[in-house]
Structure 1
Amino acid sequence: HMLCPQEPSTFKFLNFTQNSFTDSVFQNCDTLARLETLILQKNELKDLFKTSLMTKDMLSLETLDVSWNSLEYDRSNGNCSWVGSIVVLNLSSNALTDSVFRCLPPRIKVLDLHNNRIRSIPKDVTGLETLQELNLASNSLAHLPGCGIFSSLSILIIDYNSVSNPSTDFFQSCQKIKSLKAGNNPFQCSCELREFIQSVGQVSSDMVEGWPESYKCDYPESYKGTPLKDFQVSELSCNTA
């Protein structure tokens, strides 16, 4: 490929934002072994499997930004083979679905997946023990993920999704969490939500970002727009068997 240097290159940083590069870019290119940061925003990348192959000889690569492309991942293409050095990966504003969690670098720490088509996180995903920061904003997730598979997670951004009944298990399983941003979701103000609201009240006030102003009831209609912190429902009406 014309972009691959013929001699071993000393480049540490390359930015090719807003070009027309396709999935063939940098394939089988072994002269960029010193490259640490590669930015390919706003190109014509379509296949995440091929993106992973592109990195395999970039032995120093730590940060890869392929946001604003048309990336999808089809498991039938085979297993992804990322270079093991990547710790920061920006996949935001693509066409990725739940399967993306099966195609991630092995030592990833910071992962940006906002503005994709993710509905849920597969339960049997493995290999994400190093992940510390996860941005899932502007997807279609209906639930807060637990930290069973993300044992090191400290920052979760999941605002602008479809979370109506967040589970309190989140706070129990995510012991290392320092920041949760989950506002602007269609919260269903019901008896079940009381436990979540109580849990928020028990953690330090700066841990839940945007609280209270970004957390409002969406339905039932009679509570629409009510801040979660002001939502009251009597013990009696919740305990009816």
Structure 2
Amino acid sequence: MRPEHADELDGVEFDALRAALDDLDASDVEMHIPPPSIWNAIDASAASEAARRAPGRMAVPSTVVEYTIDEHDAVVGVGGHWAEFAADNGAAELVAPPVDRTLWSYFDQPEVRELWQMVVSHVRAHAASARLPFRCDAPQARRWFEMTVAPAAAGQIHFRSELVFEEERSPIALLDATVERAADVDPVTVCTWCGRGDNGGDWLEIDELLRSQRLLERTALPAITWSICAPCRDDMTAELLVAGGIADASA
């Protein structure tokens, strides 16, 4: 009986109930501990509410980007917000990607290509999905995605990336695909996993990199080349090589 309903009992009944409760000891009580899934759900709900209320945090739109490669690693289908995402990120030629190109032909840096090849090989070899968090920032926001790489029929692999968190910031022209680039300066290398930029071996958030290299003082910004920083490469390689591999999407 909750305290707010105590007034529904008369004085004699309330005194009898109080006496009965006072006579209880630890041996009369059996504790039932909720399963871990209950606590996980509570923690997730609390974290979600905290993120929603925090200043500078944006409501996450429902953004899902999907594509599929066949047994020869050629891109054979796209879905979700693929076309919109490609257009918004200055890749109009990929709104309808050619079916005769392999996934690996889209990677400029060999170390990134080789890492993704390891991921695909792992998923095929274990016939199990993998889940991978990564950054993919917009000029006006930091964005965190979660990608699921899953085996499909006839040796196909399906990729599904969902935007899980977005944080507003002042627009950064360096990340704007429509901005003019200087052809006579070295490009800025940005990690495809954590979104940080290379500053002579130190990997900094793009905001810090702009200040450190004084990029805003230039008449034209350098181009961007997408690679992977040493810490992310080491972490990913370790996940791929340990028993069980990358985090199981069914976990």
Superposition TM-score, scaled by structure 1 size: 0.19
Q: Higher strand fraction: Structure 1 or Structure 2?
A: 2
Superposition TM-score, scaled by structure 2 size: 0.18
Structure with the greater alpha carbon radius of gyration? 2
